[in-house]
Structure 1
Amino acid sequence: MFDWLMLHVTSLEPDAIQAILTSVGITVAVISVLSVKSTAQKKQTADYLLELRTDIRLEKSIQRLRQLHVCENTNLLTLGRENKADNQDAQDLRYLLNHFERLSVGIQDKIYNEKMIKKSQYSTIVRTYERSSKFIEGVRENADTAYQEFEWLIKRWRKSPLKKKKQI
């Protein structure tokens, strides 16, 4: 096999050999860049997931949304409409939704690895959107593009939900 290859390579013109070697070099460089990019994206995602564990305000905001969602006296639509800076519940919900809005943008721009995020945060993210949808609706009465990237992510994930793994 090697003899056959050497016979054919030596019969090529120097320009042809140079063109082949250049093509191989470019191919290796492109593969290398893509590999580094993928590794960097996964590292950024791992850092994000570790950071989630220490974000006390985010956890508090998730808990507050859960409480507001089950409380029959809470009108999330009105809370979203009011846009009061001094309302702690509204501040907590905005903090939570802004977090997931930024995450959605990061996924769209390939900063984060969507597959890793989806595997680890699917239920929390989808539930957050479902529970806060009335609040978002109220906010959009004054800002019609509010949380649209978060909504994009939810629609995308609903088309292809996380599958339950089979037990081994």
Structure 2
Amino acid sequence: MGSLWSTFASDDVRNAFVMGGVVIALLSLKNTVELAKKKQSSDLVFAGRNDKDFAGGISALKRRREAGSIRELAFARNYGQPDAVSVSYILNYFEAVSVGVSQKIYDESILKENYCGTVVKIWAYASDYVLELRKVQDNHAIYKNLQRMAERWGSPAKPRWKVRLPLVRSER
């Protein structure tokens, strides 16, 4: 029994146990951070579903785009208009989301699954407005993160293989 105790009491064994504990603690911390990012991303998605300004911003953006009057919102005389406020709200919302994604605050895969089509369409509808706003304000960084995310999400990855299904003919 004495030799077993002396084996566990040796410095090498104690150091190995300490290192094992450190590794387990680091893995646990990493897992906790990943789960927190996923929870924050899910909370963000659910909060957006109940936000009337969110829905209003998308509606205003679509309405202005279809009317061909989206660019005029970029001029100072139109800043206070309800549509300008709504469009700014939705663009600011997704700019903040895109910054959170680029800073690794949010889990991009969860947000992409929920918002991919929305982000790509918002950028398609708003790009003329944003480009005009950048000129008017002489600031080429306006909504840059949103643009990058929309372009990244809007270019689907090419499949590495094609699945070919056999043609089935029905007999009558």
Give TM-score scaled by structure 1 length: 0.81
Q: Identify which of 8, 15, 20 aligns with 2:16.
A: 20
3-state SS of paired residue (2:50): coil
Q: Identify which of 28, 32, 35 aligns with 1:39.
A: 35
- Give the whole-Å Cα distance in 2 for the aligned partners of 1:124 and 1:161: 18
In structure 1, list runs of 5 or more residues that go unmatched.
1-6
Q: Which residue of 1 aligns with 2:153?
A: 157
Higher RCO (C-alpha under 8 Å, 6+ residues apart):
1
**Partners of 1:80 and 1:134 within 8 A in 2:** no
- Give the whole-Å Cα distance in 1 for the aligned partners of 2:81 and 2:88: 11
1:60 aligns with 2:50: no
3-state SS of paired residue (1:132): helix
1:35-72 residue CA offsets vs partner (Å, 9 max, x unmatched)? 11111111111111110111001101101111111114
3-state SS of paired residue (2:119): helix
1:104-153 residue CA offsets vs partner (Å, 9 max, x unmatched)? 11112222111011011110111001110000001111122110111121
Sequence identity (%):
25
1:140 aligns with 2:121: no
1:88 aligns with 2:82: yes
- Give the whole-Å Cα distance in 2 for the aligned partners of 1:156 and 1:13: 56
Code of the aligned partner of 1:39: L
Q: Identify which of 114, 123, 126 aligns with 2:117.
A: 123
- Give the whole-Å Cα distance in 1 for the aligned partners of 2:158 and 2:143: 22
Question: CA 1:49–1:57 in structure 2 vs 1: closer, same or farther (change >3 Å)?
Answer: same
- Name which one, 1 or 2, has greater alpha-carbon Rg: 2
Question: Quick check: 84-93 or 41-50, which moved more?
Answer: 84-93
Give TM-score scaled by structure 2 length: 0.79
**Partners of 2:61 and 2:125 within 8 A in 1:** yes
Question: CA 1:88–1:80 in structure 2 vs 1: closer, same or farther (change >3 Å)?
Answer: same
Report deviation, 1:13.
8.6
Q: Which residue of 1 aligns with 2:44?
A: 48
Deviating above 6 A after TM superposition, structure 1's stretches of 4 or more consecutive aligned residues are none
- Give the whole-Å Cα distance in 2 for the aligned partners of 1:83 and 1:124: 28
Report deviation, 1:159.
4.5
Q: Identify which of 99, 107, 117 aligns with 2:93.
A: 99
